[in-house]
Amino acid sequence: MRTSSSHGSSTPARTRLRPGDPVPVRTLAPVLGPPLAVPDPERAVHAQFRRFAGCPVCHLHLRSVARRHEEIERAGIREVVFFHSPAEELRAHVAHLPFAVVADPCKELYRAFGVEAHRRALLDPRGWPGIVKGVCGGAVELLRGRGRLPAASQPGGRIGLPADFLVAPDGRITAAKYGEHIDDQWTVDELLAHAAAARPDGGARPDGGARNTRTGP
């Protein structure tokens, strides 16, 4: 199946996964840190598919996830983030993140999970505020000496759409979201709500706390 190219074409429609669908066990090699298995036999996995290394909207969102990473882990969730950039390019962009980041330059897992690319990723006006915030935030990081510009050439394309999946320890998908534009993904609050709804204990957290009710970034 043809994937997106650097010329801005869209990928053909792929088979989307739904709650209840199984995810085959895979051993993944993050760009930093030890190998990991998805599904994780001990906790839920939040698999989120981003775009390319240095994508300003992606990194703006991942900073919001990083700020609440301890809260996410207390809820029994493991973060795993995928980019369609080579590991050597991606490593410098994600070294500060507290969760696993996996390079998938051939988009094998993007295809397996039905994650698409489309021109609407950039053309949908709903995504434009995120683009402005991401570019401005990236400029600030560059001025502080803590950021890097993305590579000028992106073999995997620039029109990828985000996607989120919550995978239970038994390998079933319990919740899924396919983004409709560049900045359309779960917030941390939405992730925590999906995880609580999927637990058989009625939403009690693994650390014994109550269901999360926090709102805002």
Tens digits of per-residue pLDDT, 161-202? Answer: 999 999 999 999 999 999 999 999 999 999 999 999 998 765
> Residue 49 and residue 178: Cα distance in Å, rounded?
10
Q: What is the pLDDT of residue 149?
A: 54
Q: What is the pLDDT of residue 153?
A: 64
Q: HSE of 122 in the Cβ direction (CA atoms, 13 Å)? A: 12
Q: What is the pLDDT of residue 92?
A: 86
Q: What is the pLDDT of residue 214?
A: 40
pLDDT grade, residue 206 (50/70/90)? Answer: low
DSSP β-bridge partners for residue 173: 167
CA distances from 62 to 10, 50, 66, 72, 161 (A): 25, 9, 6, 13, 15
Q: What is the pLDDT of residue 81?
A: 98
Percent with pLDDT over 90 in the chain? 58
Rounded average pLDDT over 65-85: 97
Does residue 166 contact residue 194 with C-beta atoms inside 8 Å? yes
Q: What is the pLDDT of residue 216?
A: 39
Q: Which residue has the higher pLDDT, 109 or 203?
A: 109
pLDDT grade, residue 126 (50/70/90)? Answer: confident
Tens digits of per-residue pLDDT, 36-53? Answer: 999 999 999 999 999 988
Does residue 39 contact residue 45 with C-beta atoms inside 8 Å? yes
Short-list 46, 48, 148, CA closest to 91:
148
Helix, strand, coil abundance in the chain, percent, nearest 5? 30, 20, 50
From the candidate CATH numbers 3.40.50.180, 3.40.30.10, 3.30.110.70, 3.30.70.1280, the one assigned to the domain spanning 26-197: 3.40.30.10
pLDDT grade, residue 115 (50/70/90)? Answer: very high
For residue 129, how far is the Cα from the chain centroid?
Answer: 19
Q: What is the pLDDT of residue 119?
A: 81
Give the DSSP H or E segment for 121: helix 120-123
Domain spans of the chain? 26-197
Does residue 57 contact residue 130 with C-beta atoms inside 8 Å? yes
For residue 174, how far is the Cα from the chain centroid?
Answer: 16
Short-list 129, 191, 126, 128, CA closest to 164:
191
